[in-house]
Amino acid sequence: MQTHHGIHTERPGQSAEDKIIRHLITASGYVSGEEIARELRISRTAIWNHVNNLKKNGFRIESQPHLGYQLVALPDKLLPALVLNGLKTDLIGRKIIHYARTTSSNDEAEKLARTGEREGVVIIAEEQTSGKGRVGRVWHSPKGKGIYLSVVLRPQLPPARVSFLTLCSAISAAEAIHRSAGLRAFVKWPNDVLVSGKKACGILTELATESDRINYAIVGVGINVNQEASDLADLKMATSLKIEKGKEVSRLELTRAFLESLDSNYALILHEHYGEIIDRWLQVSATIGKRILAESLSGEKWEGVATGLDEDGCLLLRLDNGMTRRITGGDVSIV
Ligand code: BTN
């Protein structure tokens, strides 16, 4: 694995190493090299070479003469073969590309989308050297600590409704954090996911539009999973799941849980069930009913009580003069 050379895995038609990983994961004890060689129709020497490669990648595999190979431990890496093992999705993750290190998974996804990649492809990075946040901010992406992934989508959505992509991804992240780490997570309009009132996840949706349609959308999700307090020291109001839970959280299980939630919530968008997205969002909202300060990209400020979302997913704010103001973008903070 090298910078800018991703490991690609598609379902079906996986690489020999992916198939060996599957064999080793599903076996309860030793699997003979001969058996794997027969099934993959390659030589036992080839299997041996692949196994050595897997060991270099952090798989702990024991080999015993006459018995074969046994998997002892998996690497803490979001390798496609591991993420795909047991993943229950239709569309999201039908192809997964993994980078040990890259500038930004959104940029990698963008390059693919621009050259016609189908929707559902997921780019995962262990480390990002220029992780991007919203409004030109940096997203700190230390190696192996967080989840940094991007999904290529091609929704047939009117551009006015694009906020639904971000809302849908935020709900999915909140659901996944709850399901897989057991922590209650709430969504803060438009794109943050909070645990104990602090930001644990952010979403950056980037769009390519053509006249009145979306050509593609890149949904980039960053989750602070196993960061220590010292990793977040210079970030105000940020937290990680490990800090909140008091112990490590499996990035692998959380990644799968997120992709599965996104798969079912994105299907709601494809079926135009926007009302259902709004309902789900309201159920996990940290914003509604709170007094908030909204600041537009041009610097305008509005303070009031968040009362709901409109049919385009914009935030409705009741100002102190009784008027309702529709917030379409920018930043929101809870006062
Ligand atoms: C924000 O809250 O400002 C959005 C943060 C989004 C970060 C993710 S990490 C994966 C993807 N690649 C990026 O460069 N950014 C997004």
Distance between CA atoms of residues 63 and 207, nearest Å: 49
Q: What confidence tens digit (pLDDT) does each residue in 196-216 have?
A: 999 999 999 999 998 888 999
With a cut of 70, say whether residue 13 has pLDDT above it. Answer: no
The predicted pLDDT at position 296 comes to 86
Among 111, 137, 139, residue to substitute to test ligand 1 (most atoms within 8 Å of Cβ): 139
With a cut of 60, say whether residue 91 has pLDDT above it. Answer: yes
The predicted pLDDT at position 42 comes to 95
Res. 2 pLDDT band, cuts 50 70 90: very low
> How far does the centroid of ligand 1 lie from the alpha carbon of residue 106, in Å?
8
105 lines ligand 1 (CB under 6 A): yes
Q: Which residue has the higher pLDDT, 234 or 44?
A: 44
Distance between CA atoms of residues 96 and 81, nearest Å: 9
**DSSP assignment of 84-111:** HTT---SSTTSEEEEESSBS-HHHHHHH
Nearest CA to ligand 1 atom 9: 222
With a cut of 60, say whether residue 1 has pLDDT above it. Answer: no
The predicted pLDDT at position 15 comes to 85
131 lines ligand 1 (CB under 6 A): yes
Nearest CA to ligand 1 atom 7: 222
Q: What confidence tens digit (pLDDT) does each residue in 24-72 have?
A: 999 989 999 999 999 999 999 999 999 999 999 999 999 999 999 999 9
Q: What confidence tens digit (pLDDT) does each residue in 108-121 have?
A: 999 999 999 999 99
Look at the alpha carbons of 25, 148, 257, 240 in this order and tell me if their dihedral is positive or negative.
Answer: positive
b/e per residue, 29-44, with b = 16+ CB within 10 A? ebbbbeebbeebebee
The predicted pLDDT at position 290 comes to 95
With a cut of 70, say whether residue 5 has pLDDT above it. Answer: no
Distance between the two ends of the chain, CA-based, in angstroms? 46
Instruction: Tell me which H or E stretch contains 309.
Output: strand 301-309
203 lines ligand 1 (CB under 6 A): yes
Cis amide prior to 159 (ω within 30 degrees): no
> How far does the centroid of ligand 1 lie from the alpha carbon of residue 333, in Å?
19
> How far does the centroid of ligand 1 lie from the alpha carbon of residue 87, in Å?
23
75 lines ligand 1 (CB under 6 A): no
The predicted pLDDT at position 160 comes to 85
With a cut of 80, say whether residue 14 has pLDDT above it. Answer: no
With a cut of 80, say whether residue 81 has pLDDT above it. Answer: yes
134 lines ligand 1 (CB under 6 A): yes
**Mean pLDDT of the 232-254 span:** 94
pTM of the model: 0.93
The predicted pLDDT at position 60 comes to 97
Nearest 5°: the CA angle 222, 226, 232 is 75
Distance between CA atoms of residues 260 and 89, nearest Å: 5
163 lines ligand 1 (CB under 6 A): no
Res. 331 pLDDT band, cuts 50 70 90: confident
Q: What confidence tens digit (pLDDT) does each residue in 268-314 have?
A: 999 999 999 999 999 999 999 999 999 988 889 999 999 999 999 99
Average pLDDT value over all residues in the chain: 93
With a cut of 70, say whether residue 8 has pLDDT above it. Answer: no
> How far does the centroid of ligand 1 lie from the alpha carbon of residue 132, in Å?
5
With a cut of 70, say whether residue 228 has pLDDT above it. Answer: yes
> How far does the centroid of ligand 1 lie from the alpha carbon of residue 54, in Å?
29
The predicted pLDDT at position 11 comes to 55
The predicted pLDDT at position 297 comes to 83
> How far does the centroid of ligand 1 lie from the alpha carbon of residue 321, in Å?
36
> How far does the centroid of ligand 1 lie from the alpha carbon of residue 221, in Å?
5
With a cut of 80, say whether residue 4 has pLDDT above it. Answer: no
The predicted pLDDT at position 7 comes to 64
